[in-house]
Amino acid sequence: MTAPALVVRDLSVSVGGSRVVDGVDLEVAAGETFALLGESGCGKSMTALALMRLLPPGGRVRSGSVRLDGEELLDLPEYAMRGVRGGRLGMIFQEPQTSLNPVLRVGDQIAEAARLHDPAADPRRRAVELLAAVGIPDPERRVREFPHQLSGGMKQRVMIAMALAGRPRLLIADEPTTALDVTIQAQVLDLLADLRRETGMAMMLITHDLGVVAESAGRLAIMYAGQILESAPVGAFFAAPAHPYGRMLLAALPTGERRGGHLAAIEGRVPSPDEALQGCRFAPRCPQAEARCHRQPPDWHPVGPGHRVRCHLWAQGGHGAHVDVPVAKGPGAEEGAAAPLLETQGLQVHFPIRKGLLKRVVGRVRAVDGIDLHLDAGRTLALVGESGCGKTTCGKALLQLIRPTGGRVLYRGRDLAALSGRALRPFRRELQIVFQDPFAAMNPRMLVGDIVAEGLVAQGLAKDRAERRARVAELLERVGIAPEAAARYPHEFSGGQRQRICIARALAVEPRLIVCDEPTSALDVSVQAQILNLLHDLQTGLGLAYLFITHDISVVAYLAHEVAVMYLGRIVERGRVEAVLAAPLHPYTRALLSAVPEPDPASRRQRIHLEGDMPSPADPPGGCHFHPRCPEADARCAREYPPLRTLSSGRVVACHHVPDG
Amino acid sequence: MMVVLWTDALLWLVFALGLGYGLYAARRPHLRAPWRRVVRSRTALAAAVVLAAYAVVGLLDSIHLRAGPRDQGPYAGEVVSLLDRLLTPLRVHQEKTYAAPFALHLYARETVQGPDGRPLRTWPRLRWAPEGVDEAHKAGHILRLALKGVLWGLMAWLAFWGLLAAALARVRRATFGGTARRLVRGGDPVPWPTLLGTAALVLVVAGVLAAWAPHYHVLGTDKVGEDVLYQALKSVRTGIVIGTLTTLVMLPAAILLGIAAGYFRGWVDDVIQYVYTTLSSIPGVLLIAAAVLMLQIYMSNHPGEFDSLVRRADLRLLFLCLILGITSWTTLCRLLRGETLKLRDQDYVQAAHAFGVAHFTIIARHILPNVLHIVLITLVLDFSGLVLAEAVLSYVNIGVDPTMNSWGNMINGARLELAREPMVWWSLAAAFLFMFGLVLAANLLSDVVQAAFDPRTRGARR
Ligand code: SF4
Ligand code: SF4
């Protein structure tokens, strides 16, 4: 191993009196990618900000040392630190949108960074070079554009170019791809890997995504409640995680093999930083906790070469540490009775684009453009696609929350799209929705009890107050929330608990079908597992059908029976989950699946690279919508849109080049 | 015998609404939290004490009685307020014409009959000047009175402190002594010492004024010899009425239309937007002038419909509130429309739609409670603006009735007084002082209220 570029020793940070980072030790070698992995609120971003000395107001470093190439950063005066920041120490953030100044040209912003840290070179030339280096096509033109003219992936590339302007020795990337789609994420991760290889810089990747770590890092450290619990080479960790938390995180990931069973959800939630903890930080949630775990903080114990862990179980060389994480097999819900519940025929949602004084319609955004779906009772259909493909609009159109502009939505043979508001009311009972963001999904001014009872009242399902209260208590219990919660306000609950309450609210009217709009994407892995388990149990218990809208393939593999892949408002492929995931036929599906980072470094597949971004649904390309990005496109693809064909295997695909077989 | 004027009833209604809101908010954590932030700010607490003093004056002035035949003087049979009763010495100590603050003699020289019968050109002694006090003894007399006043103020303050401590001790189940000590020493999250300090200041000033007022014209007299302090105090009510009733009048329309426009969109939105854009393009002063002139003509043509001058002036005041309200609801309406547009796409509103909840219920349950903070912020911000607007309108003679006491009318009168030689400055100074106190306190309070309720600034100030 080469000399470490960054050495952090015993770093402690407090913000407003609570210790958010507590005694962190790190080393990052030149040319290495080091991943800092953790769930939200574990202190990983604070660690990065402390390294940059960019702590928020009220935050300060209490102790420790941060050495970059042997130079102590914490002792530098602020003006010297400014030279280091953006120079030898680069940083890219999660949100490229907010990190670029919207009124300055991209080239000027990069040139400014270049001028500060590299006065010798001509800043304009350097800006073009840097843009070329981060793989932006036609950099001479792009330097003159404004940030809003670039897509999200492009903006992140520009941010990377700015960070590179100072020729950094260490690049800190804080969730660099979390806001991006999978295919774009793959592009950015590849770019970062290439740059690291070319420049020999060290990289610190901060993420919550085990898949990203497995694909792109060499070593990792797991952070929990301000402390590092385990640090290991990536291969060794994924082969045999040593810490119970690490093991449970891996076991909590939804995968195809785990379908029908329970995921190993970690009970409870991450402790908030102002809770005083003695003993092991993980003890309240650890299934293997012993008496001493609650008293005495564990020391570091070696596991293997470069692999250390902070857990009492390893005090005797790992004796007793290989207890299996319990994975309870639930009753299999595989083959439910198949009775058609919901069907859409040519569902269309077009939004008019109005311009000018008279608000004339100058065009249409074809958010959903002719979709046929079919969902049976008690089954799960996953609607998969990247952001902007129209999947959320489609879900809302099914519930008539957005009125379709064309096509039919048949619920048990009745066309909901043709019903007026009043006639629709009885059907509202049967179809419900759970939203992505559990924080926005509840009126902050209402008590949880009133929120859950909303549907009961609206549908006239509970005659009096007492009955209503009893129903609410029952519902809350059903989703694993104490009934006393009814008298509290939503802000007193964590994200996972709120999502449970939202599910209870949907269940109140005893629906047959629930549209789940990315219900777990705002949650941490361990909490996501709890919610998925709950959804799974509810399906087996109540025979619910789910339309599961998501971009997360692993969730699809775990939960869905059927899957439909959407691109630019249309379905491109549809079929049974196992079949589609095992052998995707449509080029887009194939690229999408190959771009998903697998939490298993051993299975590095060939990635199919997609160039560019998804076009705007206001102006879809002619012919096959996918042809500008499709690796297999030919002249015919640019001319005519391929019809949806049903293959003999039962698979439905829209592509000229898929053989019928 | 009680006489209830329109504005009296409405002002007490505002007071009752405020109390009701207080009780409602106290039981709801999401409302209590921002108010707690308000009470914990020193500025807000001090401003609130000053505002409370103004409110007491205004409310006392809003209980009107018809003076019985037993009342002496020129006021028998007139409608007077409780405040008038309390201020009887000020009210009846009428001089002939201008007198400077604390003067013993009139401001202008007059020809009077000397003791020897010959006409003498001199400054006649005031009718109500304290007996046996001449220029040489005046300073001592004033000082003695002031000391007495301070003593009264301190006594009142002690009583206030005791009552506060007793009430708090009961609520907290603590000892009286301990609570009383804590109140002056501080240590609670609520800055009680600031509250007590401001209260002491207000009470001592009130005490001193009360001690002086029966003997001197503290702020001089005006052209017809009326006490200026009395006028300024009577004007408090006018200012408060304009500041609160106007917003009360405009509130229902602004809330209803603003939310309807944002919630239903489509043609409803188009119509409402059209109305308020049109309305806000008409110069407000023009509208007000036209309406007030029309009212004036109506009143002079139908003198029989008003049984007293007070009633007539009162109706004009109410009408002014109405007109001001009509010209100023558009801002709030626009704000509410914007916020509602944002809220209606929130997931919880969508969830309510998914349950088939009726539109009206959605508005009442999900939209209205989430825009109330905007209403509140607008209310407090508008208050001081309206008080100032009254002054401006009265100055150009389209404000309140000329017979009604108001700061605007005082300033209007001062227009000529400033041109006199020697200058008469005290009317203007008094109006300025009282108005400044009210507006400053209101502005300070509203800043804090806004910071506490506005979700955008909430995180920033902590
Ligand atoms: S130290 Fe104890 S509580 Fe902590 S992870 Fe190890 S076994 Fe669990
Ligand atoms: S039709 Fe052509 S462009 Fe479209 S997906 Fe198939 S091969 Fe690609």
Q: What is the pTM of this model?
A: 0.81
Dump pLDDT digits (tens) for B310-350. 888 888 888 889 888 888 888 899 999 999 999 988 899 99
Confidence (pLDDT) at B72 = 55
- Contacts of residue B75, Cβ cutoff 8 Å, sequence gap at least 6: B67, B91, B92
Above 60 in pLDDT, residue A144? yes
CB nearest to A454's CB, from B30, B352, B369:
B352
Above 50 in pLDDT, residue A415? yes
Selected for mutation to probe chain A from B273, B353, B375 (highest A CB count within 10 Å) is B353
Percent of chain A with pLDDT strictly greater than 70: 95
Cα separation values, A256 from A503, A554, A555, A582, B223, Å: 24, 7, 8, 10, 95
Confidence (pLDDT) at A604 = 62
**For residue A652, what are the β-bridge partners?**
A574, A646
Q: Give the model's confidence band at A556: pLDDT under 50 very low, under 70 low, under 90 confident, else very high.
A: very high
Task: DSSP for A204-265, please give it.
Answer: EEEES-HHHHHHH-SEEEEEETTEEEEEEEHHHHHHS--SHHHHHHHHHS--GGGTTS---P
Dmax (CA) of chain B: 99
The most confident of the ranges A412-421, A481-490, A496-505, B371-380 is A496-505
Confidence (pLDDT) at B462 = 35
CB nearest to B354's CB, from A433, A443, A489:
A433
B361 touches chain A (CB under 8 A): yes
- Contacts of residue B143, Cβ cutoff 8 Å, sequence gap at least 6: none
Cα separation values, A530 from A184, A476, A491, B388, Å: 29, 15, 20, 60
Sort strands B119-122 and B110-113 into parallel, antiparallel or unpaired.
antiparallel
Atom of ligand 2 nearest to the CA of A586: 5
Q: Note the ipTM here.
A: 0.81
Cα separation values, A11 from A14, A40, A306, B265, Å: 10, 19, 20, 54
Distance CA A407, CA A558 (A): 31
Burial A478-509 (b: 16+ CB within 10 A, else e): bbbbeeebbeebbeebbbbbbbbbbbbbbbbb
Name the average pLDDT for chain A.
Answer: 86
Confidence (pLDDT) at A263 = 85
Above 90 in pLDDT, residue B408? no
| Cβ–ligand 2 contact at A546 (below 6 Å) | no
Above 70 in pLDDT, residue A239? yes
Nearest CA in chain A to B371: A445
Q: Which residue type sits at B147?
A: L
3-state secondary structure of A583: coil
| Cβ–ligand 1 contact at A283 (below 6 Å) | yes
Distance CA A337, CA B21 (A): 56
Task: DSSP for B419-438, please give it.
Answer: TSSS---HHHHHHHHHHHHH
Dump pLDDT digits (tens) for A1-37. 467 899 999 999 988 778 889 889 999 999 899 999 9
Above 80 in pLDDT, residue B76? no
Q: Give the model's confidence band at A331: pLDDT under 50 very low, under 70 low, under 90 confident, else very high.
A: very low
Distance CA B300, CA B285 (A): 22
Ligand lying nearest the CA atom of residue A627: 2
3-state secondary structure of B241: helix
Range of weakest confidence among A93-107, A438-452, A507-521: A93-107
List of chain A residues whose C-beta atoms are within 8 Å of the C-beta of residue B352? 454, 458
For the segment A494-503, the average pLDDT, to the nearest whole number, is: 90
Name the average pLDDT for chain B.
Answer: 85
Ligand lying nearest the CA atom of residue A321: 1
| Cβ–ligand 1 contact at A288 (below 6 Å) | yes
For the segment A250-258, the average pLDDT, to the nearest whole number, is: 85
Q: Give the model's confidence band at A575: pLDDT under 50 very low, under 70 low, under 90 confident, else very high.
A: very high
Confidence (pLDDT) at B310 = 81
Distance CA B8, CA B56 (A): 13
Confidence (pLDDT) at B461 = 38
Cα-to-centroid distance, A658 and ligand 2 (Å): 9
| Cβ–ligand 1 contact at A553 (below 6 Å) | no
Above 90 in pLDDT, residue A451? yes
3-state secondary structure of A52: helix
Q: Which CATH number fits domain B2-64+227-461: 3.40.50.300, 1.10.3720.10, 3.30.499.10, 1.10.760.10?
A: 1.10.3720.10
For the segment B442-447, the average pLDDT, to the nearest whole number, is: 90
Q: Whose CA is nearest to atom 4 of ligand 2?
A: A624
The torsion of the CA quartet B224, B230, B235, B240, rounded to 10 degrees, works out to -170
Cα-to-centroid distance, A280 and ligand 1 (Å): 6
Measured from the Cβ of residue A331, the count of other Cβ atoms closer than 10 Å reads: 10
| Cβ–ligand 1 contact at A244 (below 6 Å) | yes
- The conformational region for residue A301 under phi > 0 = left, psi -120 to 50 = alpha, else beta, is beta
Q: Give the model's confidence band at A332: pLDDT under 50 very low, under 70 low, under 90 confident, else very high.
A: very low
For the segment A352-361, the average pLDDT, to the nearest whole number, is: 77
| Contact across the interface for B356 and A458, Cβ inside 8 Å | yes
CB nearest to B351's CB, from A436, A441, A489:
A441
Distance CA A325, CA A322 (A): 9
User: Where in chain B are the domains?
Assistant: 2-64+227-461, 99-212
Above 60 in pLDDT, residue A517? yes
Distance CA B69, CA B414 (A): 35
Dump pLDDT digits (tens) for A366-398. 889 889 999 998 899 999 988 888 899 999 999
Selected for mutation to probe chain A from B28, B31, B348 (highest A CB count within 10 Å) is B348
For the segment A131-157, the average pLDDT, to the nearest whole number, is: 85
Q: Assess whether the previous peptide bond of A331 is cis (omega < 30° from 0).
A: no
- Contacts of residue A244, Cβ cutoff 8 Å, sequence gap at least 6: A282, A286, A287, A288, A311, A313, A325
Above 90 in pLDDT, residue A204? yes
Cα separation values, B235 from A319, B47, B269, B410, Å: 87, 19, 41, 9
